Amino acid sequence: MNTFGKTIGLTIFGESHGLSIGAVLDGLPSGEAIDWDAVRTEMARRAPGKNPMSTARAEKDAFEVQSGFFNGYTTGTPLCAIIRNSDQHSRDYDQLRHIMRPGHADYSGKVRYGGFNDYRGGGHFSGRLTAPLVFAGAVASQILARHGITVGSHILRLAGIADKPFNAVGETAETLQALKKETLPVLDKAQAGPMEAKILAAKNDLDSVGGVIECMITGLPAGIGDPFFDSVESQLSHMMFSVPAVKGIEFGDGFALADLRGSQANDDFYYDGDVVKTRTNHNGGINGGITNGMPIIFRLVVKPTASISQKQETIDTDTKENCDLVIKGRHDPCIVQRAIPVIEAAAAWAILDVCLSEKGRCW
């Protein structure tokens, strides 16, 4: 399935080198005003070809709204948008019909679809399909913002260079919004230069690097979500693993909890006036799959870009022989910085779905 959501559904469609890609947003409330310039700003954060740290593919990610919006407001019927592809070099991928790229979905996809999949640029598996995801998340973020809910993130680690972590008990909306304006969003601005140097060094070596993204969601009330299968962690994780190159997720202190005692891992409650808070946030704002009123905080591992220009060993599925491959085309030496708006968009859509499923308990 290419659709996600319980109360609102997001369907993405298209291939990297097809005529267009796009999204259908089904179930959005009617009467929601959308600032399309703000959506374009979010799309531009993800768009390629802006600096030496990203692919040279020059897609503007301009979208065309086909339905679901009339006289300045959502109609409540499916909101459909398309993003036309305009800068494909399909000839760069001719050999990839039968020569499988290491680290890509070429082999698994070919087996899954019996060889009928569009292999150009990764087809439907391509990171290009994150553009409609950002479109959907940008719409969702505006609805959430009207109710005081903010999603923001930064690069916590990139190729061994570490930024300082978020304050686990909360960052201001202003801090989270300011990060969206940075090419390399970090809290410690001194780390941006070394991170850029690592990316460009990998590019010079015909290689790539990965990193860790830390994301925070503020403004959610306590009591949202369900235990077990529809826990807030389950729904966010489901959406996050729909983003290409994401290979791991942890909430709160995550795997570091394994080294703590319960007395260290528990978050003590206290009253701040009439508001219940916790003095720490080791559990990432979620207990029993349900929000506790503290910020949701999670971290994601983004693997190094699979497309590198060094020679690699692989297979030729036509000849059934082992062979070598040097990947041609235009590729990112690091996708972490471009993945940040994608992660924020995915989180916004998942949280909006959770909120709208609560039948008025969220706002």
The answer to the question of whether 242 is labelled as a binding residue is no
Nearest alpha carbon to residue 237 among 127, 134, 347, 72: 347
2: its two tokens: 């290419």
Closest to 17 (Cα-Cα) out of 83, 64, 100, 85: 85
> Is 162 labeled as ligand-binding?
no
| CA 121/CA 131 separation, integer angstroms | 15
328 is in an annotated binding site: no
350 alpha-carbon distance from chain centroid: 11
Strand 79-84 and strand 150-158: the pairing is unpaired
Burial class (CB in 10 A: 0-12, 13-18, 19+), 18: middle
Is residue 46 part of an annotated ligand binding site?
yes
Rounded to whole angstroms, the Cα distance separating 10 from 12 reads 7
330 is in an annotated binding site: yes
Residue 306 labeled ligand binder: yes
303 is in an annotated binding site: yes
Chain center to CA of 218: 17
Q: Is 305 annotated as a binding residue?
A: yes
Sign of torsion over alpha carbons 196, 200, 205, 211: positive
CA distance 81 to 62: 10
- Tokens matching residue 343: 């992660």
304 is in an annotated binding site: yes
Q: Is 9 annotated as a binding residue?
A: no
Cα–Cα nearest to 29, from 131, 132, 139, 149: 139
Class of residue 345 by CB neighbours under 10 A (exposed 0-12, middle 13-18, buried 19+) = buried
Q: What are phi and psi of 337, to 5 degrees?
A: -65, -35
Which residues does the annotation place in the binding site for FMN? 124-126, 288, 303-307, 330
Which residues does the annotation place in the binding site? 46, 124-126, 288, 303-307, 330
Which residues does the annotation place in the binding site for NADP(+)? 46
